[in-house]
Amino acid sequence: MGCPLRFVGRAQALKLGWIVPEGPEIRLAADGLARAIAGRVARRVEFAFEHLRPFEPILAGEEVLRVDTRGKALLIVFANGLTIYSHNQLYGVWKTARAGVRPATRRTLRLTIENEERAALLYSASEIDVLEWANLDAHPYLATLGPDALDPATTAGAVTERLADRRFANRSLASLLLDQSFLAGIGNYLRAEICFVAGVRAERRPKDLSDVERRRVAEAALAVSRQSYATRGITNDLALATQLASDGLARSRRRFHVFARAGEPCWRCETPVQRTTLAGRRLYWCTGCQR
């Protein structure tokens, strides 16, 4: 998996200028793990946590069927009907390596899945469990998730209906778009980019939006998330991002419409991008494009 995704504490991430991974990044990590272990028999499975060690001999010798995600949770599905659930939260990092090789790191290894050629290694994460695939929906976290923004079965029509639902309609978009029970996989950078693409301010509530605006938010929530996954994190207009790249602008400077661009001119209208804090997280918007 080339350069591994790194999961750090939110405060550290902000200090370093990193983006805390959201649904697209978790799905990309799952893709990397799938290339290493899916379709192959796990020769070794080792857990750092004592209560999970009885599963080691049960999973060793079983084929890994696939690596799935639900929102920000990652699921490694075995042929015997068991699934390893993990949530990296703020600190975890997945790495892959050749079988028998362990990357140099000060992190604590929590989970090892190794076949004859490759190893999938989870460091630092503490939320790991082994579940029966048939009972996944009973898991305390998975049971709370709304539709996954990256799931092709999730439609803009369904998201529009959720925006009008009484459970969600009275809350600001600023908090709602961070709520995994509303739409799974969206986090802080996606929140800002979705509101920009939809042309609405994050302080507004779905109940106060017009039908057209609610539809725009729903469409943007899916389109921006899926573009981020497809492009490994670029949510800006793709033609513009390509032009900016040819002009020599660093990827970090051209990947977003507004996120992390406070004080810089909006790509569309040249109004300086604003920054504030809403729902406990930093938020960026353009006063010219989002009225």
Choose the catalytic residue: 6, 21, 25, 261: 21
The active-site residue, picked from 22, 25, 114, 219, is 22
Q: Which amino acid is at 79?
A: A
AA identity, residue 30 = A
CA distances from 165 to 40, 95, 152 (A): 44, 40, 22
Pairwise CA distance, residues 168 & 143, whole Å? 17
21 is known as an active-site residue:
yes
Q: Is 15 a catalytic residue?
A: no
Catalytic residue among 6, 27, 70, 72: 72
Does 22 participate in catalysis according to the annotation?
Answer: yes
239: three-class secondary structure by DSSP: helix
Angle of helix 211-231 relative to helix 23-37, nearest 10 degrees?
A: 40
Q: Which residue has the tokens 């009225």?
A: 291
Strand partners, 132: 82
Beta strands in 48-117 (DSSP E): 64-70, 73-78, 82-87, 93-98, 109-114
Q: Contact at 8 Å (CB) between 100 and 113? A: no
Out of 171, 268, 275, 281, the active site residue is 281
Please, where are the H alpha helices in the chain? Answer: 10-16, 23-37, 56-59, 156-164, 173-176, 188-198, 211-231, 238-246, 251-254
Q: Active-site positions?
A: 21-22, 72, 281
